[in-house]
């Protein structure tokens, strides 16, 4: 069975602070895929990134960066110089060979205060 744990339920920061959202996963699949989604207050799910289990390279996209470490089964997400518009619920998700079946963490609610 697959499991995704986002231990941080809520995080509050002041604008321009850096913040890291943690994600720890469990799976028996040797090939798997990790995702991060953003859910703003409007409720839709916005895809942020996908990473496969064979690619441990860290990735940076603007103020966002992701750190994937197979040794610790973690896929953490860092927002640099946070902004109020970053306020949202962030979900980490895991899928195996079947693209239609994803396991989600319970999400981390990020509040960025001006």
Partner 1 sequence: NAGVTQTPKFQVLKTGQSMTLQCAQDMNHEYMSWYRQDPGMGLRLIHYSVGAGITDQGEVPNGYNVSRSTTEDFPLRLLSAAPSQTSVYFCASSRTAPGETQYFGPGTRLLVL
Applying CB under 8 A, the residues found at the interface with partner 1 are 4, 6, 9, 31, 33, 35, 43-45, 47, 50, 52, 91, 93, 95-107
Q: Are 13 and 113 in contact (CB under 8 A)?
A: yes
Nearer residue to partner 1 within complex by CB, 30 or 114: 30
- Token pair in block for residue 51: 């990473």
Q: How far is the CB of 16 from partner 1 (least distance, A)?
A: 28
Q: How far is the CB of 62 from partner 1 (least distance, A)?
A: 19
Residue 42 CB coordination number (10 Å): 7
- For partner 1, give the closer residue by CB, 84 or 97: 97
Sign (positive or negative) of CA dihedral 62, 6, 105, 45: negative
């Amino acid at each position: 069975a697959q499991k995704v744990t986002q231990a941080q339920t809520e995080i509050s920061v002041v604008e321009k602070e850096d913040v890291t959202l943690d994600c720890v996963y469990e799976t028996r699949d040797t090939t798997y895929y990790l995702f991060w989604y953003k859910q703003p207050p409007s409720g839709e799910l916005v895809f942020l990134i996908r990473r496969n289990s064979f690619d441990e390279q860290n990735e940076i996209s603007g103020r966002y960066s992701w750190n994937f470490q197979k040794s610790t089964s973690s896929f953490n997400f860092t927002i640099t110089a946070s902004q109020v518009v970053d306020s949202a619920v962030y979900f980490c998700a895991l899928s195996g060979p079947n693209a239609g079946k994803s396991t989600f963490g319970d999400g981390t609610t990020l509040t960025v205060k001006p």
